[in-house]
Structure 1
């Protein structure tokens, strides 16, 4: 079968590899679509970061080389011994988190911060291939009216949903999102799904502003207005109830903190290429908080799939599909250049 195999910095090969066999407690999936994540780009251009060159992961026993891909959906083609609630032909999406089940975080149900957390497609052969095998615990069934294309977005949309919830918002809250890339769009959908109507998205790039505006979002161009002054005017100086950084740059963090009300939270859901100095005085004077976030749990997946079933998500204008043969030039290169927003890979094309 064809697969995208990661060998290190700037080294990904589309090659034939052996088709995996299903094992006890596992499910074999024929992959329909696999999304390219920002993490994949970081591994390719800046890595290895999360993928170990030589040390086997304690939960999977794998190190580089590894088949990429952790945002995917597909159809079950085989189930291993002990799996009784998944059947051949089921359409599924994957929650690609490996967890130990024993540490304090796992025992509390917060396995996304497991002491030895791992990810399918980073610490084990992933979904950027025609077939992959995953533990039963990673399987989520797709609702009948949710396509596998949309199902492949369940992972990044769950990242956004988990982050949105950490902002402590209610239906009456006002929120501010920095960055209109895929996670920023996911945050907007998640907050809307939670009942918020007062949401602004801060984005300097015209094409990204246009894309999220097409979905119905209100945007602010930080190169054209003073965002903090605008928010202060709109809220009579109270500030927003939650802010979300999906941009990953210092000006976004600084502006977001300036826009926050007292004792409110900035949720950081970005990957930072460079160290950022935190304006601590802004935190101290208003008792503001910065909240980190990493991936999701099954609760977030269920919430996202429920919203997908209700027709809440719209992929118009920001999601496109490419063949696996175009992964590097049509996928990685154009995403890095800002020419595309979200790309799904068809491993059969």
Structure 2
């Protein structure tokens, strides 16, 4: 293979360049993938517009040692073209989805089965070079074969954000038969709606965007309500429940107003799962949390051994059904103008933007077992 590949490389705030980059070398226990498709995450656009925050650009990452310019891309699929030492040769040639999680397998968190809390956790595309390139390396434990699952490499790139949603559901506990509220049905909220409906929850979806609410209804939301980021939002949501008591609230918007609404309408004993990242500290009156036995629950990333296989199952359970979330796939050279910049400005043309590093022009998302 060539000693150089084409990649999108982050060189600092608002500076991503498509350029030649060294070919990644496969490590023991890892796979070398010819990249199929890559999802662009909100964290990617935030790093481009306001970072670096997560990327180890100025200080070496404690686990990977990476420092300086980095190739993003942590939601991806590909075809296995080389394996590292200790990997079963049966992986060669497989089409896979990868969540890119790197865990040590030895610390207390890993031994508890909480690899997302690993003391030496790292993410492919976050703390070491990722998949916005022709080739990428990733741990075999972070990959699931999609061969025979009826989904394309484009659809497989949606498995990582679905795994985030699956983990959110797991953090909430039992949701079957319960009325749950999803506040914000964008990049994670849409997948969360489907994961919750698949788990037997009665989902109420709230958002400021009517089209996203329409998508949420397609994905299993029993009721939808359009909110406006105003003090009246709580009343609108409660009216939409038609008298059903909300047992779980997923605050996905990451807005101070959304958090205030969640606390305002949460009944006694309700669970509030804080999914969206707040942009800064906010004031919370904890007295009602104590008095009414409400629970505030954090959630971070996903557990690759449990959440990711379940996510692949969910994506595969709706073959061809993700086109409204991700209708098009764009070439690598268009990543700034067609993905990172519009996403950072709140005008993304779709809930999920997908990249094909090998494409020369934009194309519709492929569905089914297409290559």
Q: Does TM, normalized by the shorter one, top 0.5?
A: yes
* Further displaced range: 43-52 or 310-319: 310-319
Aligned to 1:131: 135
The 5 Å alignment of 1:186-205 reads 186-196=191-201, 198-205=202-209
2: distance between equivalents of 1:235 and 1:301?
Answer: 31
Given that 1:161 and 1:187 are in contact with CA atoms closer than 8 Å, whether structure 2 keeps it comes out as: yes
Query: What displacement does 1:233 show?
Result: 5.4
Residues 1:206 and 2:210 aligned together: yes
Q: Please report the TM-score for the alignment, with normalisation by the length of structure 1.
A: 0.93
**Helix, strand or coil: the match of 1:67?**
coil
Query: What displacement does 1:115 show?
Result: 2.4
Residues 1:302 and 2:309 aligned together: yes
Query: What displacement does 1:238 show?
Result: 6.9
Q: Of the candidates 9, 12, 19, which is equivalent to residue 13 of structure 2?
A: 9
Aligned to 1:330: 338
Residues 1:71 and 2:75 aligned together: yes
Given that 1:266 and 1:290 are in contact with CA atoms closer than 8 Å, whether structure 2 keeps it comes out as: yes
Unaligned runs of 5+ in 2: 360-371
How has the CA–CA distance of structure 1 residues 156 and 313 changed in structure 2, closer, same or farther, with 3 Å as cutoff?
Answer: farther
The 5 Å alignment of 1:1-349 reads 1-84=5-88, 86-144=90-148, 145-196=150-201, 198-217=202-221, 218-223=223-228, 226-230=232-236, 232=238, 239-297=245-303, 298-311=305-318, 314-319=321-326, 320-337=328-345, 338-340=347-349, 341-349=351-359
Output one character per residue of 1:224-280: Cα deviation in whole Å (capped at 9) or x when no partner. Answer: 994433555566877311010110001111111222232221111112222222232
CA RMSD of aligned residues (A): 2.1
2: distance between equivalents of 1:179 and 1:345?
Answer: 24
Given that 2:252 and 2:276 are in contact with CA atoms closer than 8 Å, whether structure 1 keeps it comes out as: yes
**Helix, strand or coil: the match of 2:188?**
helix
1: distance between equivalents of 2:284 and 2:122?
Answer: 28
Query: What displacement does 1:312 show?
Result: 7.1
**Helix, strand or coil: the match of 2:43?**
helix
Given that 1:178 and 1:203 are in contact with CA atoms closer than 8 Å, whether structure 2 keeps it comes out as: yes
Given that 2:57 and 2:70 are in contact with CA atoms closer than 8 Å, whether structure 1 keeps it comes out as: no
Q: Please report the TM-score for the alignment, with normalisation by the length of structure 2.
A: 0.88
Aligned residues: 348
Unaligned runs of 5+ in 1: none
Given that 1:59 and 1:99 are in contact with CA atoms closer than 8 Å, whether structure 2 keeps it comes out as: no
Output one character per residue of 1:297-320: Cα deviation in whole Å (capped at 9) or x when no partner. Answer: 121111112223332783132213
2: distance between equivalents of 1:71 and 1:212?
Answer: 21
Given that 2:331 and 2:357 are in contact with CA atoms closer than 8 Å, whether structure 1 keeps it comes out as: yes
2: distance between equivalents of 1:323 and 1:312?
Answer: 23
Output one character per residue of 1:195-230: Cα deviation in whole Å (capped at 9) or x when no partner. Answer: 12x211110123323333444533211239944335
1: distance between equivalents of 2:66 and 2:231?
Answer: 49
Given that 2:33 and 2:135 are in contact with CA atoms closer than 8 Å, whether structure 1 keeps it comes out as: yes
